[in-house]
Amino acid sequence: MSKVYRITPKTIRRSNNTVLTPEMEIIVTLRSHTSDPFYNGAKEIIEMYMDKYGFDYKKAGCSKAHFDYERLD
């Protein structure tokens, strides 16, 4: 059973020549059976940010604390 989440950055974050803004919202579908979308190392979230915005999550040093998330299903 997959779960769908809306991931939204809490604030503007500038780090290592990357910029993350609250407008950079994504919707991601996870196949895991957890209530935390960051549980598996945020693999799907990292991929979605790179595909949609060209934002390098790892280079920016992001973590779960920088995001709000909401389950949609």
Using one digit for the tens of pLDDT, what is the confidence trace for 45-64?
A: 999 999 999 999 999 999 99
Q: DSSP labels for 5-45?
A: EEEEESS-EEETTEEE-TT--EEEEE-SS-S-TTTTSSHHH
DSSP 49: H
Selection from 47, 42, 48 nearest residue 62 by Cα: 42
Asked whether the predicted pLDDT for residue 11 surpasses 90, the reply is yes
Give the span between the Cα atoms of 22 and 66, in whole angstroms: 10
Q: Tell me the pLDDT tens digit for each residue of 13-46.
A: 999 999 999 999 999 998 877 788 998 889 999 9
